[in-house]
């Protein structure tokens, strides 16, 4: 499958990985929107939130536990934001489920 994030997960495309285990990996975004901008992805290909079901959704809670751990390790004690863009209106540009962990600055609300 021609998926950038599958290739990053397998190491075929290089990335700056900050965490990896058997189910997920986390790496720095190529175009950071905050001082800390990490993408956390399931290693197994899931296109988006819309592809989640009872069989594969457990990985999402694991992603959030990894995000919590990374927030501690990356100095985000003042807070952070987790975003998963879904579909065209959501602004999803890579069709492999991913969670942006953003921090190191004050976030605005509402997002654009
Ligand atoms: P989306 O727009 O789908 O929510 O987020 C995709 C993110 O992936 C963007 O923030 C973009 O900068 C990042 N990205 C796209 N291609 C690559 C890549 O090859 N390597 C890394 N590290 N990030 C990428
Ligand atoms: Zn993929």
Q: What is the pLDDT of residues 94-104, one digit of tens each?
A: 999 999 999 99
**Smallest-distance ligand from the CA of 47:** 2
The CATH superfamily holding the domain 4-103 is HIT-like (3.30.428.10)
Q: Is 92 in the pocket of ligand 1 (CB under 6 A)?
A: yes
Indicate which residues carry an active-site annotation: 98
pLDDT digits (tens, 9 = 90+) for 3-16: 999 999 999 999 99
State the distance from the centre of ligand 1 to the C-alpha of 18, rounded, in angstroms. 15
Check residue 112 and give its pLDDT: 81
Q: How far apart are CA 43 and CA 1, in angstroms?
A: 13
Asked if residue 85 has its Cβ within 6 Å of ligand 1, the reply is: yes
Q: Is 99 in the pocket of ligand 1 (CB under 6 A)?
A: no
Largest CA distance in the chain: 39
């Amino acid at each position: 499958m021609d998926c950038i994030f599958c290739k990053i997960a397998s190491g075929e495309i290089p990335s700056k990985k900050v965490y990896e285990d058997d189910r997920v990996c986390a790496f720095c975004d190529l175009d950071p929107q905050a001082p800390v901008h990490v993408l956390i992805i399931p290693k197994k290909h899931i296109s988006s939130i819309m592809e989640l079901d009872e069989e594969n959704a457990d990985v999402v809670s694991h992603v959030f536990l990894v995000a919590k751990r990374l927030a501690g390790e990356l100095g985000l004690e003042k807070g952070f934001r987790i975003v998963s863009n879904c579909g065209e209106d959501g602004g999803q540009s890579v069709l492999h489920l991913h969670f942006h962990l953003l921090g190191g600055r004050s976030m605005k609300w509402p997002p654009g």
